[in-house]
């Protein structure tokens, strides 16, 4: 009787860099995947659960993201609590868009 080879999956190569929605690589992904970041993020959320920008405008809205006031790419310390602020998605998007505009 003939021998039938077992089908095997190809061996996995080196891990591929994670990419964002536009297909760009995420250079700071190692920071956001770290235990240190997750603990700090959770600490900030518990300490200040409302969006800081909305709060300035008198609006009470839950913070969904922790934002770097000075972005990491511009020299901001990723783990410095004074460089972090809780924001809702709308305010974070608005701030990020303004930062991108200032680069042009």
pLDDT attached to residue 18: 56
What tens-digit pLDDT sequence spans the chain (104 residues)?
A: 566 666 666 666 555 555 555 666 677 899 999 999 999 999 999 999 999 999 999 999 999 999 999 999 889 999 999 999 999 999 999 999 998 888 76
Q: Are strands 84-87 and 65-68 parallel, antiparallel or unpaired?
A: antiparallel
* Whole-Å CA distances, 8 to 4, 11, 14, 75, 93: 12, 9, 18, 46, 45
Q: In the prediction, which pLDDT does 103 show? A: 73
Give the distance from CA 68 to its chain's centroid.
10
Q: Any idea where the domains of the chain sit in the sequence?
A: 50-103
């Amino acid at each position: 009787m003939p021998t039938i080879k077992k089908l095997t999956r190809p061996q996995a190569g080196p891990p591929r860099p994670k990419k964002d929605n536009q297909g760009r690589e995420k250079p700071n992904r190692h920071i956001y995947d770290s235990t240190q970041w997750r603990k700090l993020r959770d600490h900030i959320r518990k300490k200040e659960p409302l969006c800081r920008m909305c709060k300035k405008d008198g609006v009470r809205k839950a913070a969904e993201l922790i934002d770097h006031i000075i972005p990491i790419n511009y020299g901001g310390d990723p783990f410095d609590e004074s460089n972090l602020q809780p924001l809702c998605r709308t305010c974070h998007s608005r701030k990020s868009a303004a930062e991108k505009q200032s680069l042009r």
